[in-house]
Amino acid sequence: MAYERSESTGTGGGGVDATALALKILVAGGFGVGKTTLVGAVSEIRPLRTEERLSRAGEAVDDTGGVAQKTTTTVAMDFGRITIRSGLSLYLFGTPGQDRFWFLWDELSQGALGAVVLADTRRLEDSFPAVDYFEHRKIPFVVAVNCFAGARNHSAHEVSRALDLDRGTPVVLCDARDRDSGKEVLIRLVEYAGRMHTARLLDSVG
């Protein structure tokens, strides 16, 4: 399921029922693009992280070009939670970026409303696998360009063309370290995914 509903009943004064909506969101992208940083920045709970230090054994498969300062890598997933508004929470699942962990993606994507594909314009080609994955499975996604210091500035339109995105797929510029910036990305995704799911539902009954 893409969401869960839970009801709580107040005591006294006639009892108040509140329905909470929780949506599952994936945060994907290439190695070292800022997925763990984004989940940690927006999460209102202490995020669950499964990071290990990079080792010499992984040098042959972990391309640290452009991210030489990176010393750890996610080996399972990151998890966090953010409340967008009263009654609406997002559960965030950050996926590992390396190809050897892709067997986890199918499990993590089960029941997801949509996904954020983080992109680094210095290594934009690293975003293609995630873009292809979600396009082929018809999972709504937005591309969030993590604006690293020193990286050349590119417009959302330029990134969309470079990634050959389907028409209408949102591209937003963000700072994965900033809570408000990350929250805006998530709001854009929820809005876009909502429109996509509604359109598909109408098509199915038309």
Higher-pLDDT residue of 115 and 75 is 115
CB of 164 closer than 8 Å to CB of 125: no
Give the whole-angstrom CA distance, residue 94 versus residue 96: 7
CA proximity to 117, closest of 23, 35, 32? 35
Higher-pLDDT residue of 200 and 72 is 200
Quick one: 85 exposed, middle or buried, by C-beta within 10 A (0-12, 13-18, 19+)?
exposed
Higher-pLDDT residue of 155 and 17 is 155
Phi, psi of 102 (to 5 degrees): -70, -20
Judged against a pLDDT cut of 50, whether residue 167 lies above it is answered with yes
Mean per-residue pLDDT of the chain: 83
| Mean pLDDT, residues 154-172 taken together | 96
What pairs with residue 170 in β-bridges? Answer: none
Give the whole-angstrom CA distance, residue 34 versus residue 149: 13
* pLDDT tens-digit series, residues 23-64: 999 999 998 899 999 999 999 999 886 655 544 544 444 454
